[in-house]
Each structure stands twice: as structure tokens, then as C-alpha cells.
Structure 1
């Protein structure tokens, strides 16, 4: 089914953004809705966790690090408690706060911390040991020298420290973290441990996994012992016997939720007796002896004081509700995106309405509904204007969205330029959003190509201080000059072609030798590229037909920007055509990204998992479970040196 495949691609994309890039584009609520829809159509999704980030060493888990079954209703909690009570006698439950952070496993040998691993996909994680050493609340040595101890905890960042990190990012014109969870996860997976130390991460230990030489009968015993070993354990857990006690404990945590100095996203209900846990066991995905209750988003009433329309880099008009400020989910809420005219019309949202608002996934402000009983008599339905609020050109509707038709709209220009210089595009890191706005307002930049003429105004820019003092200006100009040599996949990403992302841009750079070949490519040539469909193909053809695109490419050519593919250096050499590669372990002489580019340039494909269809596994140092599976399947295994011989 096309819908099932589309949902699968979306889930994989957003999983990568959440688990591997720590930069989600949608809320947890929206992600969960995708999963529900996928499963409702018959899809099965086993790998809920992330993959292993290529810069870190892979480590196999001694015990699978499972997720918990999520529930969101009182009835589901009741069903869980009653089911356990039917199967076991004299059951004791523990209710704990579910800290919103990144799960890690700590390993101690003879009382000394020797390893720290992220959850990864639950079977294989990544070693972040050096970074964990910078977290003060993790004991580096404990009093009791057990031969081997393994504990699991949640790394998080407090609201105060999160605020400080974003304040520093704002001053440096870096991208802000969306929420504390992303900040904690992104920090822990930095290659520089000094960044971890600077940001003051913290941890709560919530489970003892292995303790060689010591026996326990209950979870509470393990927590008490861990506390005696100087671990900071999950706070204020409650022991419960009846369902009513369990539910009251859940509601008490919810009551405290926004008064805590850190984020939580639910409550965990566990069986206390460890022997009973063994009796119940686990499925391949979740333990049968625990669940996680996810709190519904907090909702409040407020008033829509106005609706304004913003214009994005693609020209899309996005209505935004200006709200009477209301304190919600720990912060003050004064704006909420209304998405498009269909969203407004379906909910009949009007200026002056009293509305119910919430933060979907505790992150994204959202208007839930209108309180019709409180609507003013003279209210009128709201309609997105027929003209762009920035340049006043006519708008055009495509599907549910409205777009400005002016190719030179100032709003599109500024946001398009900001996207062009971003990390995933031309990566001109010294040219931030504030600098671009100033340069556009002063008339130095009118379109993308003008970036490469700024060197002509070296003295003038320093004198006016538009982008800072001499050092800042020269740093910017050097970064601009360096970007001229980027491969064309970065340039294509920078163009901001609708529905064409980083991977699609790399594919174009692999299969075409320069921008002119791409510009002149036929529908048949494009549609046959890996993972290209009708939408992407049409968008590319339409973009390169535009007169302003043709003019822009000529201007970039004149200014010395590279328009030739470096990836497509082995033209017509398809020696790996039809072959599937998997990379595992740490490679010495080449990055995984570059190895992937080379394989693709020879017509091969790179997969993230080993299967019967895999032709080659390239194994570097500390290769993990992928190597083991390849050996079991009899897949050809290549060393880095073997791979180098193949590409000579």
C-alpha cells in the first residue's frame, strides 16, 4: 500500500530527527499519531529507538534496553493493575516520575565506572563514557567493589541550565534547542566532553540491571542500596498495593509536574518484587511488569486577540494566533500557529474568540477548540488575505496552503538566504540570521548570488559595523569564500527546492556531473533515480525552468561558486550496481559519510541493517552486532583495506 510506505518513510525520517539528530520537527504527540495510523493500516514497527551515531563506538547491551508500553487513560491503568493482580498474589507496585531525558546504562568494574552507553536501538548502543565523566552526579567510584555492576538512569538538564544554554546560543546566533530533552540528548552526544561539563547535565538512576555478588528481592531494596553507593536515585517514588493508591500516586506526580525544576513526561508503574518480574517476563519489545502513563497535555482557556500572517522562504503564508498570555506547561504562551485556512475554517477560529489551548507533546502551542458560548455577537469568520502581507502580490492556493506568487518577495528572499547559508546547505556559519537581515535592509544582499560579492564592501562593512567589528566581518568573508568550494549537493540543498532534502540533493550530485546536467535532465532520467517519485521529480524540473533560477545559476557561475559534482568523479562506472553495503564499527582512514558517497557514486546502495539481501559488510574497529549477524548469514565481510582495494 502506498499510504503504508509513505507512513513508514515519515516515521523513519522523524525517528532519525529525534533519536540521532536530537532535532525533532514534530511533537511527541504528532509522532505517536503517525505510529498509531501506521499500525492501524497493518504496519509493524520493531525498531522504535535510534541507530548508532557514526562518530561513537558501538557497544552491545548485556541486557536488552526495552521501552515501556505507553498508556494514557485511567481505564488502561486499571486494566494493567487488575491483570497483574489476577496473575500474582500480594502484588506491590512502585510509581515513579518518568524523567524526560536520555536513557543510559552505566557499567562499574570492581567499583569503578568504566563504561557508559546510550540506549541506541535497545540491542546496540553507543559509548558516551567520556561525556558521562563530566556529569557531577554520576559517581566515578562506589564504596562496594562488586566485580560487575550495571545500572540504568536518565540524563537530563534542569530548566535553569536549559535556559542558560539557549541564552548562550542566542548570543552566538546558533540554533536554539526546542526543549530540555533535546538539549540533554544533543549535549550527551557531543564529541567534545567540555561542552557536557559546561552545560551541567544531571542524572537520576532508576534501575539496577546487574549486580554480581549481591542479591535483592525487591526494586525498593535496589534503590536503597544504590542510594547508599552515592547514586542519585529517582526521587519520591511511592509503594502501592491497590489500584486507588496507584492512581492517586500518578495524580500526585501530575500535580507537582510544573513545579519541578526539570521535565517529566509521565509516571512509571512497576511491580516491586523482582522474582515476580521474572515470572511475567517481557515481549521482544516491552516488559510485561511495567507501563508508562503519559499525562495528557495541560489545557487552558484564553482569548485570540489577533491573527497575523507570516511568510516563509517558499512563500507559504502561515496564520498565527496572537493570544492573551496564559501560563501553560511551565511557560507563558502568547502565540499559536494556525497552519492554514482549512485548519481555521474547520475549527471556525475567529479574532476575539475564547479558545482552549494546549502544548501538543508539551512543546508545540496548539488551539484545540473554540468556546462557542463565549463568542462575541459581532465576530466574523477569518479569511487569509488574497494578497501577500509583505509584498502585496496575489496569492495562490496549493492543496491546503496559500502561497505568495511573487518570486522576489522580500520575506521569501530573507528566509531563502537564511536557509541557503544554514548548516545543512552551504554551511556559512559566520553569516547568521540577524546579519542577513541587516545586509538585506542595507541593500548589500538582494538575492543569493549577492553573498559572493560582499568582499567588495570589506572596508565599508567594517566601518558601518553591520555584521560586527573587523574580526567578525573578516571571519564572515572567509567563510563565504570557503563555501565556494562546496560540493553541489550542498548548493542544491541551499536552493530550497520544495520536497528536495539533503539525501535527494546528494543523489543528484552522485548521478549528474554538474548543475547544467541537472537543469537539463529529463523526467525519465530523474524518476529512475533511487527513492525519487513523481512529486520530487516535478519539483526539480519546475524549479530549474524558472527564469530566476537560470539567472541565479549564471550569477553564481560568474562569482566562482563550484557548480561541478565532486561525488560524480567516476562517470559511468557502475561497478557496485545492484549491490547493498552495510557499514559498521569505526573506520580509520575515511568517514562513513564519504564511504557512503563513494559506494553510491559506483551505483551501490548503503543500508543501516544487515539482512539476507546484504552483499557486503564493511567492518571497522569495535564492530558490533551487525558483524555478528553478517557472519551468521555468511555475508561477505570487508576490512577497510579490502574496501580501498575495491575502489581503486
Structure 2
């Protein structure tokens, strides 16, 4: 029997542990030692183990992670989580505020201003002050429920603090990892022989999207609130009236907010704050990529409203890409799966935007010639979008004596076969080039191919170089003993490797196989169309150029590439090996019949302009999942023209053809109607 004394003691321990979590993780001002905290934690865990009646999903003991989830459940946000429009300079910011001033009819506006955290956006939901749910932003309307993982984030209160607690509170914010914690995490990953993360944002996003909450619990994640969705109060007269009140209210309830956030009394003050944070950016505890400014008055926010993708009362002022100078040590040539020779700059390692950069892209032969990059040069580099390093220019004043112009190779550096110019690219002419083989297998298992989660790129490369994998079909003959012969390949990793291949053998859709083959000019979109038209690889291989061109989105160039690929003797051998290995996905009517009951089945969509919250490829995939068809060329067959921002000439053509033109919001309504 559970006595009242035991229940009271458990409640007191939970209250104490949450109090000390708040002191440590939010206020950065602990009152007790780690050993004293651990003693309280062990006592509570012991009581919960002895008395199952004490079970509570919001107990501090649950922060270590529960059972792995089978998958993420879609979650529809009650209020849409909008994107933000961007201002790339202060002129754009002042142009934005001119529009705001004109709309509201007054100039004396204050703006609540936050550092723009570079993390994973989500919503956490509290009912009666208790944490009940969390979901990623997703496309703004539909996200993924990640409640179990967010319960492990130590600075997220599981029970709200204070006296004035809303009955319902939806808090929007970012999951982030501090720069200091990120360095420790990557050091730990290296020591364990695991993958290191490219930047804190990737680490945070990847941690929250793990099916096993224990993974998230092992990562130094933090939740930083920046706003709210729905708020319902028990006291009808109590309500927040400004963004400042919201943020101070969230802080009072125990949620962490950016300490650098502040109220700016004018648009000019926002500009000064933006310049100040840009100068302090490198020394900030978290990665930030700009500043978010919001009209402070909530009544004015409501008056300004929203566009189809963003609020008219908020703007993200983006920092320019970080740039730094370093020395170009060498130019290395990589050979891709289609034989393209890509130049890579080997650089004197230099810190840039939170990571140490030692390699950067030089794009192609023409880019090197146009900029006259030479080994030994001091070059300016940046991370495009703060992600992909690229070399921008040369400091000619620092060019060393004797630096000679770079001569792009005329033979493949891997197989010594002739390399010929093909448009802007230089391409190896040898179909059996070992580098092509390695890259083709890497592509086959990647997200752009069969998406074999658990089959690591580096291991595929090593197995291919060693001759264990000579074609994608060899993956399906791999066994655990072969993998365990390799140093650093543990028992669990080998099991995951083989299990990922087995999942692909049993459940990979036909379009993924087509995309994974790496046929030139055939991407995911075209692969989906082909998989809907042909039963299997054998049927696709028999198709003539003329038959292929009858399909939407398949023109002469794509048809010729497909025809040439399937006429190749090496392809015939690969197809037969897939069949022998029992890897034989089917498409055609099998695929289309599965979606035939959807209201969008057979409807033809075309997309133009930029879409909020998703790429056009993602939008096409949503259409096809519901049995519709997404095309890239406009014609009378098109049922809906989805026009995003800065829509191109397709809109004018659509008007001439009398086609139905819809915006993104209407497109999303059609999808949800058909779901």
C-alpha cells in the first residue's frame, strides 16, 4: 500500500529536483553539489521502483529517456507555425518598417528583439501547468510529435512555476546546443569512433529526431523560448498585451529565453542592436545567424496579420555569411558517380562559423580559371548559408613569388583514362572507373537513393575500395562475419548494417531503386514518374525512347540517358544480380492503385516560385503520395498551378491556357482534404 507519507516524500523530492534543475540549467546558478543532487535523484528513483503507483510521466527520473519509439506520429498544430521574412541588410529592414508604419498609421513603435537562434524549431504544450506534448515545426501545419525526447531536455520545465499559470499554453522555441557543449559532444563522438556533427544545429536536430529517447537524453540539448501559440487563462481579465510581457511571462513560468533579448524603442535602435550582435557573434554562447524583431504591441500584431507564409509584424535580419582568409595548400580532384572531376580546395585549417574548415569547394574548371586560384594563394572563404564552405577570391597582394597557374587535369586521377569537357564539367570517360563505382554505391545507399539508415558512407567507401563491394548488388550478399573482419566494426554496428540492407530488400519502393541507380538526369521526381509507369526494372529497360517521352517530365535528354543506361551490358548484369539476390521492387499499377482512393488521384500539379516551409520537390512528393501527378512543364493537362513567391513566367502561360492558379495555403487545404 502507498502511504500518504511516501506520496508526500516523492512529491517533495520531485519539487526539489525540478527546482535545482531550474537553478542549474536555466539560471546557471546551482545551490547544491552534483553529489547532493544525485542523492535526491536516487532516493526518488528508489521510491518509484518500490511503489509503481507513483508513476508519473513528468517525473524528473523520466529525463534519462524511456523506451524507443516505433516512429514519429504526425501532429497538427492548432495554430500554424509561420516562417519569417528575411532582411539581408538594414535598408531592407527600414523598407519593412515603412510598410508597418503606413499600415498602423503611427511611427512611435517599439520592437521586441531576440537573437535568431540557429536550432530546431518546435512547440511544447502545457495543460494545467504540466508538460503534455511537443512537436517539431514541420511544414508549419503538420509536425512530428517528439514528446518523449523533449522530456529529456534538462532546462525544459515539466511543471510550470509561479502562481499565474495558463490553463493551456503552447510555447514556440528552438532546441539548441551551446558552442561549448558542442565541442565536448564532438570530442566524445570522436573518442567513441562515431560520426562527428557538422555544426550545433545539425546535432540538435538529429538528437531530437532519434527514435530512442536515451540518445536525446545523452546530448546537451536546451530549449530556448521565443513566443507562444494558443494561450488560455483561468482568469478572463488576465492576458499578455505585448511581446515583452509574453517573454517576461514565459521566463517567470520557468522557461529559458535568450538573455540578450531586449525591447528596442525604435526601428533605429533595432538597427544598432543588429550591428552590435553581429560584432559580438563570434563570442556568443550559442550559434546565431541574425536578429528577429517583432512589433511589440499584440493588438498591432493582430491588425497587421499574416501573408500566406509569414507574419507582417516580424522580420528576421540575417547576418552576412561569415568570411575569413586562409592559405590554399593544394587543389584535390574528386571523381563523382557520373565521372565529373570536381576540384576541392585543401586549406590551412581555420575556424569559421563554429567549425574548423580545412576543405572547400572550387566548383569546376571554369571557376578556377575565372578567379585564377593558385596553390599558395591567400584566399577568402565563406560558408554559404553558414553551411557549405566555398572559396570566393584571391588576395593578389599576398600571392607568393613563383605561384603558377593551376592546370586542370586532362586524365582521370583515379584510372588515368581521358577526361573530356562536357559543358562546364570535365568528365572521366571510363565507365568502369573505380572512383565512379565507389560513388555510385555511396549514392545507392544515401538519402537520394535507398536511404539505408545504418549503412555508413565511410564503411561503404572502405568496402568498395577493398573490392568487397564492386556494385550495389553486392550489398545484398554481405554478411556479418565479413564485416566483423574489419577493425572498429563492432558487433552492434555490423548488426545495424545488415539490418538496414534487409529492410531495403523487403520494403524499398521501386522509385527509390531507380533513383539509387544514379542514372544521369534522373532524379527523385523522375524516378517516381517512371515507377508509376513501369512494373519493374525489366519493363523499364525494354522501354523505347519514344515510349519514355510520352511520360510527363521525361524529355529527349532524359529518355536518351535512360535508354543508353539500360542498353549497357554492365546494367544488364546488375539487374540480373538484383533479381538473384531477391531484391526486386515493383511499381506500375501496384503503386498507383495504392493511392487511387485519394481525392487528388490523377490530378496534375505544377509548382512555380518559392514555397514557404518546403522545397518544390517535397511538395511534388506530397502530391504523388496522394495519387496525384506533379510535372515541370506546363500544358492543358495541368489541373492546378501552385504559385509561390516570385512565381515565374509559368503563371502568365497558365492564365493564357485558362488553368486554375492557387496559392500555397489553398494547396495545403487540398492536401489536408485528401489526407
Which residue in 2 is equivalent to 1:589? none
Q: 1:269 aligns with which of 274, 293, 297?
A: 293
Instruction: From the superposition, tell whether residues 410 and 139 of structure 1 become closer, same or farther in structure 2 (CA, over 3 Å).
Output: same
Alignment of 1:4-153 (within 5 A): 55-62=72-79, 64-81=80-97, 87-88=105-106, 90-142=108-160, 143=162, 144-153=164-173
In structure 2, C-alpha distance between the alignment counterparts of 1:576 and 1:272, rounded to whole Å? 49
- Give distance in 1, aligned partners of 2:128 and 2:264: 35
The 2-side partners of 1:224 and 1:385 are apart by 61
Distance 1:223 1:571 in 2: 49
Distance 2:332 2:494 in 1: 35
Q: Per the alignment, in what secondary structure is the counterpart of residue 535 of structure 1?
A: helix
562, 567, 572: which one aligns with 2:583: 562
- Structure 2 equivalent of residue 545 of structure 1: 567
Structure 1 residue 96: Cα displacement: 1.6
For 1:572 and 1:220, locate their aligned partners in 2 and report how far apart those are by CA, in whole Å: 52
Q: Distance in 1 between matches of 2:177 and 2:77?
A: 26
For normalisation by structure 1, the TM-score amounts to: 0.73
Structure 1 position 159 matched with structure 2 position 179: yes
Residue of structure 1 in register with 2:558 after alignment: 536
Check whether the contact 2:199–2:354 (CA below 8 A) recurs between aligned residues: no
Asked if structure 1 preserves the Cα contact closer than 8 Å seen for 2:600 and 2:623, the reply is no
8 A Cα contact 2:72 2:144, kept in partner: no
- Answer whether contact 1:489 1:509 (CA < 8 A) is retained: yes
CA distance in 2, matches of 1:105, 1:164: 27
Distance in structure 2 (CA, Å) of the matches to 1:536 and 1:380? 41
Following TM superposition, by how much is the alpha carbon of 1:296 offset from its aligned partner in structure 2, in angstroms? Answer: 0.3
Secondary structure of the 1:412 match is: helix
CA shift at 1:168, angstroms?
A: 7.3
- Structure 1 position 385, deviation (Å): 0.4
Give the corresponding residue for 2:213.
193
Residues 532 and 592 in structure 2, CA contact (< 8 A), matched pair in contact too: no
**Alpha-carbon shift at residue 174 of structure 1 (Å):** 7.7
Question: Deviation of residue 530 (structure 1)?
Answer: 4.1
User: 1:393: which partner in 2?
Assistant: 417
Following superposition, the deviation at residue 505 of structure 1 comes to: 3.4
What are the residue-to-residue correspondences of 1:610-621 with 2, within 5 Å?
none
* Alignment match, 1:496: 518
1:197 CA drift (Å): 2.5
Is 1:420–2:454 an aligned residue pair? Answer: no
Among 389, 393, 406, the alignment partner of 1:382 is 406
Counterpart position of 1:21: none
Taking the aligned partners of 2:256 and 2:591, their CA distance within structure 1 comes to: 58
Contact 1:500 1:536 in 2 (8 A): yes
Residue in 2 that maps onto 1:20: none
Q: Secondary structure at the match of 2:356?
A: strand
Q: Residue in 1 aligned with 2:361?
A: 337
The one-character-per-residue Cα deviations of 1:455-500 (angstroms, maximum 9, x if unpaired) are 6xx87776x5468467766775676577555655444333221232
Decide whether the 8 Å contact of 2:198 with 2:355 is kept in 1. Answer: no
In structure 2, the CA distance between the partners of 1:189 and 1:335, relative to structure 1 (3 Å rule), is closer
Cα distance, 1:154 vs structure 2: 1.8
Q: Which moved more, 1:443-452 or 1:342-351?
A: 443-452
Query: 2:339 maps to what in 1?
Result: 315
Partner of 2:527: 505
CA shift in 2, pair 1:174/1:576, >3 Å:
farther
> In structure 2, how many angstroms separate the alpha carbons of the residues matched to 1:113 and 1:571?
41
Give the secondary-structure state (helix, strand or coil) at the position aligned to 1:526: helix
CA distance in 2, matches of 1:574, 1:204: 42
**How many aligned positions are there?**
550
Residues 208/461 of structure 1: CA separation in 2 closer, same or farther (3 Å cut): closer
Q: 1:268 to 1:518 in 2, by over 3 A?
A: same
Contact 1:357–1:368 (CA under 8 A) maintained in structure 2:
yes
RMSD (CA atoms): 4.1
8 A Cα contact 1:280 1:289, kept in partner:
yes
Give the TM-score normalised by structure 2.
0.70
Secondary structure of residue in 1 paired with 2:431: coil
In structure 2, the gaps of 5 or more residues are: 1-70, 604-619, 632-637, 641-664
Q: How far off is 1:298 after superposition?
A: 1.8
**Counterparts in 2 of 1:248 and 1:405: CA distance versus 1, 3 Å:** same
Distance 1:573 1:407 in 2: 38
Q: Determine the structure 1 residue equivalent to 2:652.
A: none
User: For residues 478 and 271 of structure 1, do their structure 2 counterparts lie closer, same or farther at Cα, with a shift above 3 Å needed?
Assistant: closer
Q: Per the alignment, do residues 245 and 538 of structure 1 end up closer, same or farther by CA in structure 2, a change over 3 Å counting?
A: same
Is structure 2 residue 317 aligned with structure 1 residue 293?
yes
Task: Check whether the contact 1:306–1:321 (CA below 8 A) recurs between aligned residues.
Answer: yes
1:392/1:267 CA distance change after superposition, 3 Å: same
CA shift, 1:414, in A, is 1.9
CA shift for structure 1 position 441:
4.5
For residues 61 and 574 of structure 1, what CA distance do their matches in structure 2 show? 30
Deviation readout 1:152-190 (Å, 9 max, x if unpaired): 222223335545666777789887654333443344344
Give the equivalent residue in structure 2 for 1:33: none
Q: How far apart in 2 are the matches of 1:631 and 1:308? A: 46
CA contact (8 A) 2:483 2:494 kept: yes
Pair 541,220 (structure 1): closer, same or farther in 2 beyond 3 Å: same
CA contact (8 A) 1:580 1:613 kept: no
Residues 437 and 93 of structure 1, relative CA distance in 2, 3 Å threshold: closer
Q: Does 1:404 align with 2:464?
A: no
What is aligned with 1:227?
251
Separation (CA, whole Å) in 1 of partners of 2:577 and 2:443:
18
Distance 1:381 1:523 in 2: 44
CA distance in 1, matches of 2:478, 2:416: 29
Q: CA offset at residue 446 of structure 1?
A: 3.6
CA separation of 1:553 and 1:163: change in aligned 2, threshold 3 A: farther
Change (3 A) 1:179 1:524: farther
The Cα of 1:553 is off from its aligned counterpart by 2.9
State the distance in 1 between where 2:491 and 2:298 align: 65
Partner of 1:346: 370
Deviation at residue 195 of structure 1 after TM alignment? 3.4
User: How far 1:77 moved relative to its partner?
Assistant: 3.0
In the alignment, is the contact (CA less than 8 A) between 1:567 and 1:598 conserved in 2? no
- 2:473–2:581 CA contact under 8 A, matched in 1: no
Residues 173 and 433 in structure 1, CA contact (< 8 A), matched pair in contact too: no
* 1:239/1:554 CA distance change after superposition, 3 Å: closer
